[in-house]
A and B are shown apart, each in its own frame.
Chain A
């Protein structure tokens, strides 16, 4: 079984940062973080989850199954800072609840304690992937999105559509079902430092979800990026990276 793990272009870093993508996506959602950190001395591991991107094998059926996979992945790396987006955040959360030894700290991006999925989206994910991709691309950005992307010439909404359209048959539906049926529990026992990062225009998750998550986890810190939607790391990479740098620096003190 092939597992594709992106390193950001350098493999000689020391402290490990693991990046986990969301439903129907792959490691390229972290394109403005992985290379930047890898060339600043961090050891980057951004896997395509099984069944996603260039990794083969069956995709996990539940957040618990994905967390079990992540536990094995992290065990080979020693301790790591884990940055998860959306479904990736739920996987990180579930992993840290069970086996915090391998998670040094966590950043949860675009997530709440629950990520319910609109039934129309779930149906489209099963029957019509391009339509599902269009829903996700539309709800990922602020309402009446007109763009203005910092990477010259980039139409973000198109990029999200193409990424999700490309997911393998069945994978998006499985991912969304896993998200919809997960409910984070025992958040008060999460024992690692947690930063929750949210875009205040995120319409993929229920309003207030990131706040609930931050309030339920002891000591968790909430950072809200004004104007960002569901993928702040792609939509506002410079602002996001400033937060990420502070989050990682805190772990090195």
Chain B
């Protein structure tokens, strides 16, 4: 059979979005440290401001280095366009502000990053946008929670921090039947392990700070428009389907077609709220993407070995890693994450909160900090850090035991990592 002509993932990860510079021959994208871009004449300036022709005006709205990163991640996520933001939280806020207005409603699965939960639960309601949280495994409840005011359904490919795998095809079907898009945080899986757009997601976003950077060096976020959602038929998104006054009545769906959402997110959300990405950061993230595939293979191999070790280790009550056959979502993981379940896992120590504290203070190679997806191995105690905003009931709802330890397995020698864990477990269970 003739295969469609498309470069493979690893090639796109290294090369997409960057053309050889015709003037200098530079093979890598320069860091364009220019706040603004000179217009050819007044006519060109007017055309750019009126969304008639492509080009750069001002680096808050777009920048050539940032655009290369946006295009590369769009290619890797099998989308039509990317829009970078200052952080993963800024990416989420960009989606929410683009799709909602006062009175709007969001349906979200409950096992989400604590910062996401806080944004939905405590901050957005002040602007009149409310969220219903539903157990990630309860698809009937998910469908039932959608109201006439719902503007999107939100989930994470691999839920933070209980490692629940979202049934993306089923959720996409529920969302689309109700006329709302499925928005997926793909930070933990990365496009190397799962491309949610291929399972029906309409908008995908990342905290690029994590595996995309890969080195714990910069903060960034990105939104990818999969180009799949039917905004016109939905009827819930007048900002996309009706004349938009600030740009002389442009109708985004009519004008931009499949990339209407990305176009509005940039022309409104990035322009007005201003949470743009800096070009130096985009450069680091482009470099990060170049090694994403090889890093994710190693992260996954190390995590699989550690998950198996922990499963039989003394003092460990349970291990949550979708790659383990004992995980309740293992079958889904086999289907949606055939290349492995990534580098993040969680486990519960016998002895609850106190054992967790002793464990974390005893590791020597694992670093205790609030991040994941670093080349270094990291551990954290969610109840006292990432999910500290949640009370006991909120913790229970998010599936977080008070003795839960979340671990982001790095790229080190796995023998060293396991020795470190053996030592810390001995102290924790003493």
Point out residues on A near B: beta carbons under 8 Å: 6, 9, 26, 28, 31-32, 34-36, 39, 54, 118, 120, 131, 134-135, 137-139, 143-155, 157-159, 162-163, 166, 203, 237-238, 241
Contact = CB atoms under 8 A, between A and B. Distances in A.
B227 A120 contact: no
Contact of A35 (B62, B68, B226, B255): B255
A238 B53 contact: yes
B250 interface: yes
A131 B16 CA distance: 22
A154 B81 contact: yes
B266 A153 contact: yes
Interface string B229-260: 00010000000000000001111001111110
A155 B256 contact: no
A39 B12 contact: no
A237 B71 contact: no
Contact of B74 (A34, A35, A146, A153): A153
Contact of A166 (B47, B83, B258): B258
Contacts of A148: 17-19, 68, 71
Given A28-B256, A35-B52, A154-B54, 13 more contacts: A6-B254, A26-B257, A34-B255, A39-B248, A138-B4, A143-B5, A146-B16, A147-B72, A147-B75, A154-B80, A159-B80, A162-B258, A238-B55
Contact of A120 (B1, B6, B52, B68): B1
B6 A157 contact: yes
17 contacts: A6-B255, A28-B254, A31-B257, A35-B52, A131-B4, A137-B4, A138-B4, A139-B5, A148-B18, A152-B66, A153-B71, A154-B259, A155-B81, A158-B80, A159-B80, A159-B258, A203-B5
B57 to A, nearest CB: 10
A238 B228 contact: no
Contacts of A138: 4-6
Nearest to B249: A9
A205 B50 CA distance: 34
B56 interface: yes
A155 B74 contact: yes
Contacts of A163: 257-258
B33 interface: no
Contacts of B19: 146-148
B401 to A, nearest CB: 41
B72 to A, nearest CB: 8
Contacts of B56: 152
B371 interface: no
B84 A153 contact: yes
Interface in B194-218: none
B51 interface: yes
A153 B53 CA distance: 14
A146 B410 CA distance: 30
Interface string B55-84: 110000111001110111011001111111
| Centre residue among B1, B80, B226, B227 by max chain A CB count within 10 A | B80
Given A6-B254, A152-B66, A36 B80 contact: no
B83 A153 contact: yes
B204 to A, nearest CB: 12
Given A146-B16, A152-B54, A159 B7 contact: no
Kindly name the residue among B63, B70, B232, B251 whose own CB sees the greatest number of chain A CB atoms within 10 A: B70
